[in-house]
Amino acid sequence: MLTPGRAGADVALVPAAGRLLVAVVLAACLAGALRATRPATAGSGTARVAEVDGARYRRPGAASSTAGARALPLDVERAGLTFDPAVAPADQAAVLAAVAGARPEARRLIGLVDGLVDVHVGPAGPGAAGVTRIGGPRFDMTLDLARVSAELGPRGVTRLVLHELAHVLDHAVLPDELVARLDAGIPGGWGCEGGMTGACTDREERFAESFAKWASGDLGVDLFIGYRVPPPGPSLEAWGAPLAAFASG
């Protein structure tokens, strides 16, 4: 879930009738801005799709801890994001531009999973700017582009889109062992507001925020979006090297 409010962003996984809701809370230092809120329960009772070492699919021929998972279908790799027919062309262009502006390795990773994503544009819930539902056969993503664009501009839109797609990557193809290695390179945050931000930020959100920084090359200085999690180290390139290797594998 993403909410304009304080400096920091909040994304959370909440079990809900067999599904999981991933929400990014966007924070911007604005008077009267919304505060980070925990996401509400999501959707209907769709049985959660099984994961092997945290990944729903494995890449054909790839040797990893996800060997027991289903092979990623070629038609998924060849497909792109599916936009709700109600999404305006300008909003589609904004989402696609956020992906197109990412570093090549990040684009290759997103290209593995974007065929699994259904994109909607509009309100994402109380205090939220973006939400992705995980657990069903596809990943359902809602982005409040009008609000994020008005309050944070294109950089905010880019951070939102890449953060949400990082959650899809995390659950669709990235093994938990890889994400754990990456998490080891992310410093602890500061504060613990609501038990959700800073030092209390969970692994999924730490990864998603760091992936968005790596993919865009934007550390978020003066952007005021995120979970108050410091940038990964020792550098974005060094931190993301395992992701780049996975993308080329």
Place of tokens 């009738």: 17
Are residues 128 and 94 in contact, defined by beta-carbon separation less than 8 angstroms? no
N-to-C CA span, the chain:
31
The pLDDT of 131-150, averaged and rounded, is 91
Secondary structure letter of residue 61 according to DSSP: T
Residue-range domain boundaries for the chain: 8-248
Rounded-to-integer distance, Cα 174 and Cα 109, Å: 10
The pLDDT of 70-96, averaged and rounded, is 93
Q: Rounded to two decimals, what is the model's pTM?
A: 0.84
The whole-angstrom distance between residue 11's C-alpha and the CA centroid of its chain comes to 8
Residue 108 has which token pair?
A: 């290759």
pLDDT tens digits, 31-63: 222 222 222 223 444 456 788 888 899 876 555
DSSP for 12-50 reads EEEEETTEEEEEEEEE---TTPPPP-PPPP-SS-PPPPP
Are residues 118 and 141 in contact, defined by beta-carbon separation less than 8 angstroms? yes
The pLDDT of 180-207, averaged and rounded, is 89
Is residue 10 predicted with pLDDT exceeding 90?
A: no
Rounded-to-integer distance, Cα 77 and Cα 96, Å: 16
Query: What pLDDT is recorded for position 127?
Result: 66
Is residue 21 predicted with pLDDT exceeding 60?
A: no
DSSP for 79-105 reads --PEEPTTS-HHHHHHHHHHHHTS-HH
Residue 15 neighbours by CB under 8 Å, 6+ apart: none
Is residue 156 predicted with pLDDT exceeding 50?
A: yes
Query: What pLDDT is recorded for position 162?
Result: 96
